[in-house]
Chain A
């Protein structure tokens, strides 16, 4: 079962930073936070994941609160191609393989 809560939709102006929040208040110490996105009628695309520390890659930054009960995905300069549904997922490793998707946030980047 999904263990995350996300706002159903958000808008962001093109070129601005998009900050997508996620609540995972029941996360346990061994669970990672993953972010995927799904552009219409395509398979999900990996964005980033983390355990405790903030993470950054070429696509985005992941900010995890100190108590790990929430996180924020940051797309630093949103483009129209970033319009998609963004899923925040918690996953136990190493024994947990499955991803259980929540409802996600539909992000619309506005010109």
Chain B
């Protein structure tokens, strides 16, 4: 089956620094990827839709200048949390749209802790 990986699986950074999270589709090409954020004991919240070769589309209330998304190839999308603050600590999950559009495959998630 289709596999989506994320790197790193967990990261700790200091307040004010930036951190990059990678999302890769390992055995298929994904023209569209998605980024979610999940706080403890809450559901997944869609942050943005990432299309290869074009600008990401952000959900209402998500700061595009704080959460930079780059989808430079058909197998890689990156999310950069800029000037991270403790309130950005969360579980970040990416997903990739399958070839037919019916499928969506999720990565294992990245736990970000900002100290």
Contact = CB atoms under 8 A, between A and B. Distances in A.
Contacts of B107: 43
A94 interface: yes
A101 B43 CA distance: 7
Interface residues of A, number: 22
B106 interface: yes
A53 interface: no
Contact of A100 (B4, B46, B93, B111): B46
A57 interface: no
A102 interface: yes
A87 B109 CA distance: 17
Given A41-B111, A104-B43, A97 B102 contact: no
Majority DSSP secondary structure for residues of A touching B: loop
A8 B111 CA distance: 24
Nearest to A103: B43
Contacts of A87: 43-44
B97 to A, nearest CB: 6
A42 B108 contact: yes
Given A100-B46, A101-B43, A94 B101 contact: yes
Interface in A26-65: 32, 36, 38, 41-46, 49
A97 B102 CA distance: 8
B109 A42 contact: yes
Given A43-B107, A43-B109, 7 more contacts: A46-B104, A49-B102, A93-B102, A97-B32, A97-B104, A98-B46, A99-B104
